[in-house]
Structure 1
Amino acid sequence: MQLFNPHIAKQAIIHPSTYTYARLVSKAQTSTMALPTCSPSPRLDRFGQAMESLYGNFSSIDDPPNWIPPPRSGGHRGRYLWTDAFGVVNFLTMHSEYRRTGNDTIGDDRYLILAGRLIETVHDILGRTRDGHSRLRGATDANPLSGGLRIGKTDAHGTDGDGQYHHYLTVWMFALNRMAKASGDVKYNRQAVELAKAIHPRFFVDRAAARPRMIWKMSMDLSEPMVKSEGNLDPIDGFVVFRLLQATAMEAGDGAVLTEEIDDYRRTMERKGEHFVSSDPLDLGMTLWTAHWFSGRERWAADLAGKCFEQIYNLFEINQYLERNIRFRLAFREFGTCMGIQCQSEMNAEKESVDLKCYSDAIIAAWDPYMQLSISDDLTPVDLRPITRVMYASALIPGAFQAGFLGREPIATPWE
């Protein structure tokens, strides 16, 4: 079944010239203000520095199994679901990268253990009411994720207050799935499936109808909608992440545990028709990241990746995005673009013809000096620093966000 209108992804691939690359980096390094000298440290070093700015000095942790993550994630009681989801995946990247490069001077599985401790801490804080006295409605000690997970907003009330976002929850499910793959412990994928089954019906309206629709934001206890509009990327997020969870479950012998839920997303995507690709850098990057999981074998995802490439070209070449004053840009949103570009570029068999990495390199070149200075107050609001730092690390090295980075991926059931 074809969801989108015919549009071959390879026809939309941009081939930036050497001149284009040089011009982009030059613009990034000279636009609007003088930049400090870039650090010559390798990307993995800068990756680690960004992570330590949130989670502390890793080499000084004497007892990783009892580590308590510092409350620095920028949310309520120090935890914010999006930031910590990226933190978990980044820990898995560090675990793999240090072993792969032979730079693991610590010589143990501490990054894997720290990822597990961060998961436990998030479940214990964001899986409970704001006062910490009880689990969210529907959750029990045996099933701690059956009430979902709070966003972690600092304010309790209002449309921008605490609640539950579908797209935050799917990123957390993805982090749990990656933890299952990196550790070999399927309990993490089972936790993700538990969370998926708990929150899924709450975010749907007319779920049993031929044309269901979704809700952007639910209350903390999932009892009522806070924002009734439908997120642009939510159906595709669910369709992709739930298929990854189910593929892992089937490989572990748990069966096709999310078939009905996956079909709900499929019907929602069909109702929406051709997917709108936003020019917002974060939405654009996350769309490309989501598509890369299936762009090599399913037409809908290849078409979507092609539309993303067109939007990237328009953003950087037609609209001259990198020439904008950096004071009016948000680094973490651009880091989402970097991650999406790198994941998709690595998946294509003809790297020489799809090398869009010059754009992600130009973004890194623009922001790297400021990240090395830990981001000055006049560039990024204090409450955005944690998300900026953790996404900076993911932009430098997407690692475990990328399909195949942790080894062979279980084959998801093809979309019929």
Structure 2
Amino acid sequence: MTANRSILHFTEAMSLVYGNFEHLSEEAAARWIAPDKPGAGGHRGRYLWTDAFGVVNFITLSKETSSPIYLTLAKQLVETVHNVLGYTRDGTTRLPRATDDEPLVGGLRIGKLASHGADGDGQYHHYLTLWMFALNRLAVATGEREYNQLAVQLAKAVHPHFVVRRDGEAVRMAWKISTDMETVLVPSEGHLDAATGFVVYRLLQRTVDDMRGPPGLLRREIADYQQLMSRGGRLQASRDPLDLGMGLWMCHFFKNEDWARALGSQSIEMARTMLDKKTGLMTRDASRRLAFREFGACLGLQCYGADEETRRGVEAVVNFWHRYLEESTDEDLRPISLVMYAAALIPGGKFSVMCLRTVGACS
């Protein structure tokens, strides 16, 4: 796929989620409010995972097209998310603990359509860390430290509610907590939650340091995550495409560290099996697959780096789903699939979304 065609498809996918933004003037972009329809597919049009990809995709568009308007749209999307998911579901008050001066100390809601139940609203650690990353990339792309400060604020606020301690030591993590952060809703631990925290919190601290902020702001949190991810057998290559891809994405930032080399090597081998032309994903019917999970694998592989055969497999997956995204993808999953399709299509340019390989730096 040529570069121009990739940008065209990238922009089309983003437009299907966020409306027609291509011809906005700078003045109109500064007034833009992310729509609730079509929107990111969640409560009042906002879903934290999808909108995190939305922010970083707008950053990528700004770098690919040299247009500052897309950075403005990224900022506006951040504001909309904070004004919806940083508030209670009725929109009347900020989440508990949050204030006008510290809007993210109450965390951010997932954006689930239901308020309660097995698939009800609450807070996920892996969604929150992805949002921190989006804020961090916006700070790096714009040079405006306030976005990284917000990410650090969120990082410090949610950490003690997800990390379970015994005798003062971090022993495990919870998967899901309530919107008010008072109750653990799912006590089991996400496979990559500790490692993702270890990576993202280090990126936040690095930006604090680069922007001459206070040293060691996240030292304790990073130490907790390092301890948790270092437990025997915790980091293994996953057979799930999204989990596999996000693991590779994490590894690429610190590729020369032992843990990243080990997980990355295992994951590349797993990816070869997953993308095998005779036995892998491409042998299955679209009805038995989930596009957004496969795009996660494609994204991670491109960030981490893969051999020519694996790259051809990534291209085959992305091209396959291009034909199906609008027609065959489940309506509820369409927004998340579209933003992840865009990210898999162009993983990022200078000061990028998900990986920084085009400027020769991965962290």
Q: 141-150 vs 392-401, which deviates more?
A: 392-401
Q: 2:316 aligns with which of 350, 357, 362?
A: 362
Q: 1:191 aligns with which of 142, 146, 150?
A: 150
1:179-230 CA distances to partner (integer Å, 9 max, x unpaired)? Answer: 0000010110000000000000000111664451000000001000110100
1:368-408 CA distances to partner (integer Å, 9 max, x unpaired)? Answer: 1223xxx22xx322110100111110010010234435858
Whole-angstrom distance in 2 between the partners of 1:239 and 1:305: 16
Whole-angstrom distance in 2 between the partners of 1:250 and 1:309: 32
2:209 counterpart of 1:242: no
2:85 counterpart of 1:85: no
Match of 1:404 in 2: 356
Is contact 2:237–2:267 with CA below 8 Å preserved after alignment? yes
Match of 1:14 in 2: none
Is contact 2:199–2:253 with CA below 8 Å preserved after alignment? yes
Aligned-residue offset at 1:323: 0.3
Q: 1:152 aligns with which of 90, 106, 111?
A: 111
2:250 counterpart of 1:283: no
C-alpha distance 58-202 of structure 1, shift in aligned 2 (>3 A):
same
Gaps of at least 5 residues in structure 2 are none
Is contact 1:219–1:226 with CA below 8 Å preserved after alignment? yes
- Highest relative contact order (Cα 8 Å, sep 6+), 1 or 2? 1
Whole-angstrom distance in 1 between the partners of 2:309 and 2:258: 21
Whole-angstrom distance in 2 between the partners of 1:410 and 1:314: 26
Is contact 1:95–1:111 with CA below 8 Å preserved after alignment? yes
Gaps of at least 5 residues in structure 1 are 1-37, 100-107, 346-350, 412-416
2:211 counterpart of 1:252: yes
Is contact 1:73–1:386 with CA below 8 Å preserved after alignment? yes
1:254-278 CA distances to partner (integer Å, 9 max, x unpaired)? Answer: 1221000000001111224351222
Tell me the number of residue pairs that the alignment of Structure 1 and Structure 2 aligns: 354
Q: 2:61 aligns with which of 94, 110, 115?
A: 94
User: In the TM superposition, what are the counterparts of 1:87-166 in structure 2 within 5 Å?
Assistant: 87-99=54-66, 108-166=67-125
Aligned-residue offset at 1:154: 0.3
1:266-316 CA distances to partner (integer Å, 9 max, x unpaired)? Answer: 111122435122211111111111111111x21210111101011112223
2:282 counterpart of 1:331: no
Is contact 2:252–2:362 with CA below 8 Å preserved after alignment? no
Whole-angstrom distance in 2 between the partners of 1:93 and 1:380: 24
Whole-angstrom distance in 1 between the partners of 2:309 and 2:254: 19
- One-letter identity of the residue aligned with 2:231: R
1:329-388 CA distances to partner (integer Å, 9 max, x unpaired)? Answer: 11111111110111111xxxxx7x5662112111012111223xxx22xx3221101001
Is contact 2:236–2:263 with CA below 8 Å preserved after alignment? no
- One-letter identity of the residue aligned with 2:280: Q
Whole-angstrom distance in 2 between the partners of 1:406 and 1:179: 17
Larger radius of gyration: 1
Alignment RMSD, CA only?
A: 2.1
2:353 counterpart of 1:388: no
Q: 2:266 aligns with which of 307, 321, 341?
A: 307
Q: 251-260 vs 80-89, which deviates more?
A: 251-260
2:165 counterpart of 1:206: yes
Is contact 1:96–1:406 with CA below 8 Å preserved after alignment? no
Q: 390-399 vs 359-368, which deviates more?
A: 359-368
C-alpha distance 85-212 of structure 1, shift in aligned 2 (>3 A):
same
